Structure 1
């Protein structure tokens, strides 16, 4: 296509020259996302009704896509208010040379599109992905300068490890060869193209592995949706199982269904509040007939707990990844937000858990534990530290205020009642004498009740002493 595009550009230039048009420099635009905008680049345009857009085709042909401000091409193209050409859902075949002209002026735009496809594996047990700019495949000279292709995970972490191989026949074409694992099922891989170390475009691809297992990581307390990959029809029904135990039928809720676990209409299983107990191998299958399996999902859970030392001193924060069976060797736990006054235990491997403890002599405001798979962050869990002594005070303070208000009201009631009896104003009395005043006003109360009220008064005194000490 490189020769075709150059031929088309030459033809466009000849047409413009013959018409006496003034050509500006070529603008290169990389497609990024579901739509791309090609600017016209002619500053003197007063109305889009004078604008025409042409597209270079194969064998040097030229196709008119906009004439006198009106789109003449098939669906997918649109003319914006500033006379720019918009292409919706661009594909590799849209990587062409475009020309905007109005009167004696014109502007040329080269659209560059990144493609990613899967090809038949060169060997058993491998996956081959091919990433290319426009249609540059194989050992074809790339006319773009400063171009480089990089392979990353979905979160832009560069791929590294023995099971990843790379071949780069040219700057605009690259191969990624993956030693296949069952857990590569429904996993996303990303190809990025950079120019002078700046990312210009990126495209992702999700691999499918026969009889594979999709890995999902979820933080405790959060919600997670497990996709069945099957849309229910009128007479269809699916069944969810975990570790071989039946959970639900999408058409009739199972007996144990609660607010924390339910099946949506799209047959996905939703766990609204994840805990370590939810870690397991989930399977969505047809509930009738041959019980065809639609998806296998392995759910791992991440949680963070903390424990203060004696007297509310040193703090130990524990990050735990609970795996379905055993945690893979490419899993890792890391911390962020820790200060210099802390140290980590390092990775502790259990039967089906990974643990990383953080010991702090001075509490941090916020800590975050990350679980990584082959270097890519899969889930995170935040932890806000709280001083236990401060917690006790804030819990006790509302209780103290409530007791204070109740005692004040009781005191005023007793005082009014006493004044009615004696007819004289009595001096103020302390909190510890409130209950004794009630006894004097009602001498017929049993001794046991009077003793209970004295104990309550003592408790009130102790609570106020506690507040005095804290303040």
Structure 2
């Protein structure tokens, strides 16, 4: 009986550690790829810029944390140092976010070689859309561009990249996070029989795909992958179909910052 109680207690401790970020101790930021994002350092000191270290960790991409900024100085050995900047309030700016930027970021403050307070952690969740089309004669090098034409089938895959260790089911049931494909009027495309909408997931992504056969009247039509939390739009990616001599799908994104 004692062993069972010990196991139950251990389970509660693990669950509590996973939910720490959701409960408000850590920050969660949702952003679409291609946008710029600002990650706040909630434990910043006054005149903190030269005292700040930002580290990045992603369990699926790195075996250990990577120092992006050390005491206010950017680490030029990191592959994305040109897209990073440190603000006077010690927040971290990331330009032109990619799906590979998802993960946890920690802000640490130092004075006289001693850490001050605890790390302030921010989880960055990135929404990204990858199109494909049966009419493409060759694969496109850009995730926002693919050859299309009327009468062909096109599939748009909307993916939310996350490194919290929590399942998509948890995000939906407990945090009210939902991925939707909607039209220009904001109507859920699941209500239209011409669209096939499928949801899936893996270790680090929640995925929702849209598949449809293109019609002549789809020229200039917009579809939007929308991420909501408790029915409030957090970020979205818009795709507009264009038929022309050079046929492509154009991508733009918008995030409603809270």
TM range (shorter): 0.5 to 0.7
**Cross-structure match for 2:106:** 99
Unpaired runs of 5+ residues, structure 1, are: 1-9, 14-23, 214-292, 296-471
CA contact (8 A) 2:103 2:162 kept: no
CA distance in 1, matches of 2:122, 2:212: 36
Q: Give the 5 Å matches for 1:227-246.
A: none
Distance verdict in 2 for CA 1:60–1:26, change over 3 Å = farther
Work out which of the residue numbers 103, 114, 130 in structure 1 matches 2:127: 114
- For 1:203, what is the secondary structure of its paired residue? strand
Indicate conservation of the 8 Å contact 2:219/2:241, yes or no.
yes
User: What is the TM-score when the length of structure 2 is the normalising length?
Assistant: 0.63
The match for 2:145 is none
Q: Report if the CA contact (8 A) 2:48-2:88 is conserved.
A: no
The corresponding residue for 2:96 is 89
Is contact 1:148-1:172 (8 Å) kept? no
Q: Which has the larger radius of gyration?
A: 1
Q: Could you tell me which runs of 5 or more consecutive residues in structure 2 were left unpaired when the two chains were aligned.
A: 1-13, 18-23, 110-114, 136-150, 248-258
How far is the alpha carbon of 1:188 from its aligned partner? 2.7
Between Structure 1 and Structure 2, the one with more helix by share is: 1
Local SS of the residue matching 1:162:
coil
In structure 2, distance between residues paired with 1:127 and 1:48: 48
Give the TM-score of the pair, scaled to structure 1. 0.36
Distance 1:89 1:49, change over 3 A: same
Structure 2 counterpart of 1:7? none
Asked whether the equivalents of residues 154 and 204 of structure 1 are also in contact (C-alpha less than 8 Å), the reply is no
- Cα distance in 1 for partners of 2:194, 2:45 equals 56
Query: How big is the shift at 1:186?
Result: 4.6
Cα distance change, pair 26–204 in 1 and its aligned pair in 2 (3 A): same
Q: How many residues align?
A: 188
Greater relative CO, 1 or 2 (CA 8 Å, sep 6+): 2
Query: Alpha-carbon deviation of 1:43?
Result: 4.5
- Alpha-carbon deviations, 1:420-454, whole Å to 9, x = none? xxxxxxxxxxxxxxxxxxxxxxxxxxxxxxxxxxx
* 1:41 paired to 2:42: yes
2:152–2:213 contact (8 Å) kept in structure 1 = yes
SS at match of 1:204: strand
Q: In 2, Cα distance between the equivalents of 1:81 and 1:118?
A: 39
